[in-house]
Amino acid sequence: MPVHHFTLALVITCFASAGNAADSAEDCSSIVDRDTRLSCFDTFFPPTETASSPIEARQLLESESQINWFSITPHKPNYVLPATYNFSSDFSPYTDLGPYFNDAEIKFQLSLKTRIWHNLWRNSSLWVAYTQMSLWQLYADEEASAPFRETNHEPELMWQIPVDFSLFGMDARLTSFSLNHQSNGQSDPLSRSWNRLTGTLFLEKDRFVVSAKTWVRIDDPSNDNNPNIEDYMGRVQLGVAYKGDTHTFSTVLKNNLSSANRSGVELSWAFPLTEHLKGFAQVYSGYGESMIDMENYTNRIGIGIALTDWL
């Protein structure tokens, strides 16, 4: 090749490479050439070996799903339990419809989050999340007209910070601080709500993941209708999950740390049904399953499907 042709080709290549330079991962998706596009993505997401732990696997999936801004990813478990039965129902707060309600009802949870900022201090990131848990009286008497008996709304703003140290023989991987609001969207006398600052530490050991969470209430309890909410919804929460090859077992325990001790424990099991669908079984026993039922000691069992679990 003549020298001037070689020089021209080199200049064209350089300009093409400059045109394909990307300031963010989002820019890579507009590159037409497949190999160049892949190389661009590799710049922002270098190839790594298979995740070696449940937390690492979850973070890897979340990172991949957040290539585009405001992509949605699961937060807490997402599930539908078409059949649940409460062995200790208390419908007394519902003066008009309570007599028509059924101990059997549908329970489901929707929980999503999206990252709004990343590469902050110590590679931390800022997220917004929303969780909704509903109890649907589909099996109530016709006079009740199958209402949603209770829906708990929980939006939160979270700051997640990667960590790396050992504690009690486990590896600490992540901390999360959250500005959290929780309410049931009802009017008096059924209204329940509170605002909290929460802190959570996530640790792991082999296939086990442990989370330790605590919070402080930041609103004025003297100005609402549930000043004793911490006595029933708790002041600390401990979670343990085991990630098997195809099954996930988890338990969440919350406690009020008071001499009038009150706890609530939730046991869950996610298991394979089909290639893309998981079965889900759940047991709840104790106080604080939902905001309207927080003062009632609940014993509930349910079966259904899980779209996502903790891990």
Do the Cβ atoms of 39 and 30 come closer than 8 Å?
no
Residue 154 has a pLDDT of: 98
Residue 70 has a pLDDT of: 61
Among the listed residues 63, 65, 153, 181, the single catalytic one is 181
Residue 17 has a pLDDT of: 39
Cα 267 to chain centroid distance, Å, stands at 16
Residue 30 has a pLDDT of: 73
Which ranges of the chain have pLDDT less than 50? 1-20, 49
Residue 283 has a pLDDT of: 98
Active site residue 75: no
Tell me the pLDDT tens digit for each residue of 236-294.
999 999 999 999 999 999 999 998 999 999 999 999 998 889 999 999 999 999 999 99
User: Model-level pTM greater than 0.85?
Assistant: no
Domains of the chain, CATH where assigned: 3-44 (no CATH), 55-308 (2.40.230.10)
Residue 3 has a pLDDT of: 42
Among the listed residues 63, 65, 183, 263, the single catalytic one is 183
Active site residue 4: no
Q: What angle do CA 214, 163, 246 make, to 5 degrees?
A: 80
